[in-house]
């Protein structure tokens, strides 16, 4: 009854209750950046819990970037890092759905081709190696938003299902039709102007600024097994990044 902070009989783990308690202290400003937390021993004694449990709670706070520890000195409230920017580009389909729109992928073309010099160079393979080539356009409520062109090595020569081609995850396709297992990926985001071909597919005027993203997929031996490019309409797409401690509040403002 003395301490409402930690309820040992709760179903909620003690370390989590403690984590939430300090999180609230910091978010509300009762603990300011630079302030020291009580020592681990103090916290353990105050709430009559083991020091290992206290450490678990502090470990969660550290992961969340809210505190940092200094050996021999103590644990201190961190300053929010507001200037390292992380832009997230998650599954396009889910993002569209999340906005209450209806996503759809349409297959424009799919062919088995023999690699020309340019493609052979890109995929790090010999000229004339058999590759799978296809193009899709992604729409939201019927309006084109993104245009993808993809290539992958076609070593297995297994039948191709349309459902695989419109799968937004290139790595899954590469896994199905190449001998290698996707292990790593490199994506590069650039700006560009829509070419005439791109403009037509996307239903915009040629020259519109667009996001241009290339993706290269590698296997465990760092060999390239797939390559693709995606054009996102610049007038409809933006990347948003939130940082700090009261992110949920500003998302709604």
Partner DNA sequence: CAGTGGTCTAGACCACTAT
Partner DNA sequence: TAGTGGTCTAGACCACTGA
Residue of 42, 94, 116, 196 that binds DNA (CB under 7 A)? 42
> Binding of its own copies at residue 185 (CB under 8 A)?
yes
The least distance separating its own copies from the CB of residue 181, rounded to whole angstroms, comes to: 8
Which of these ranges, 32-40, 103-111, 116-124, 145-153, lies near DNA under the rule CB under 7 A? 32-40
For residue 73, the partner it binds in its own copies, DNA, none, with Cβ less than 5 to 8 A by kind, is: DNA
The least distance separating its own copies from the CB of residue 27, rounded to whole angstroms, comes to: 8
CB nearer to its own copies: give 16 or 157.
16
Say how far apart CA 90 and CA 97 lie, in whole Å. Answer: 12
Residue partners of 203: CB distance under 8 A and separation at least 6:
143, 144
Residue partners of 210: CB distance under 8 A and separation at least 6:
191, 192, 193, 194, 198, 202, 231, 232, 233, 234
> Binding of DNA at residue 45 (CB under 7 A)?
no
> Binding of its own copies at residue 50 (CB under 8 A)?
no
Residue 186 has phi, psi (to 5 degrees) of: -125, 125
Say how far apart CA 17 and CA 30 lie, in whole Å. Answer: 17
CB nearer to DNA: give 49 or 138.
49
Which of these ranges, 67-75, 90-98, 112-120, 167-175, lies near DNA under the rule CB under 7 A? 67-75
Burial class (CB in 10 A: 0-12, 13-18, 19+), 19: buried
Q: Which two tokens stand for residue 146?
A: 């993104």
CB nearer to DNA: give 49 or 225.
49
Tell me the sheet residues that pair with 112. Answer: 132
Q: Which two tokens stand for residue 226?
A: 């797939």
The least distance separating its own copies from the CB of residue 3, rounded to whole angstroms, comes to: 26
> Binding of its own copies at residue 12 (CB under 8 A)?
no
CB nearer to its own copies: give 41 or 247.
247
Residue partners of 221: CB distance under 8 A and separation at least 6:
180
Q: What letter would DSSP give residue 206?
A: T
The least distance separating DNA from the CB of residue 36, rounded to whole angstroms, comes to: 7
> Binding of DNA at residue 75 (CB under 7 A)?
yes
Q: Which residues in this chain contact DNA in the complex, by CB under 7 A? A: 8, 13-16, 37, 39-42, 48-53, 55-56, 58, 69-75
């Amino acid at each position: 009854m003395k301490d409402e902070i930690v309820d040992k009989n709760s179903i909620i783990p003690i370390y989590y209750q403690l984590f939430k308690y300090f999180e609230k202290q910091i978010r509300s400003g009762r603990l300011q950046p630079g302030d020291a937390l009580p020592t681990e021993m103090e916290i353990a004694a105050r709430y009559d819990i083991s020091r290992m449990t206290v450490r678990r709670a502090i470990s969660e706070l550290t992961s969340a970037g809210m505190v940092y520890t200094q050996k021999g000195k103590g644990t201190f409230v961190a300053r929010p890092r507001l200037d390292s920017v992380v832009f997230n580009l998650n599954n396009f389909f889910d993002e569209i759905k999340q906005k209450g729109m209806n996503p759809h992928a349409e297959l424009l073309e799919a062919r088995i081709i023999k690699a020309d010099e340019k493609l052979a160079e890109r995929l790090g393979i010999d000229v004339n190696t058999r590759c799978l080539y296809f193009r899709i356009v992604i729409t939201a409520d019927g309006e084109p938003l993104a245009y993808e062109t993809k290539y992958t090595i076609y070593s297995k020569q297994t039948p191709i299902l349309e459902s695989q081609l419109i799968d937004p995850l290139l790595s899954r396709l590469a896994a199905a039709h190449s001998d290698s297992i996707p292990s790593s990926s490199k994506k590069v985001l650039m700006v560009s102007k829509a070419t005439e071909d791109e403009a037509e597919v996307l239903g915009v005027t040629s020259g519109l600024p667009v996001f241009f993203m290339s993706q290269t997929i590698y296997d465990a031996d760092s060999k390239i097994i797939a390559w693709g490019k995606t054009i996102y309409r610049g007038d409809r797409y933006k990347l948003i990044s939130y940082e700090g401690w009261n992110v949920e509040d500003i998302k709604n403002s």
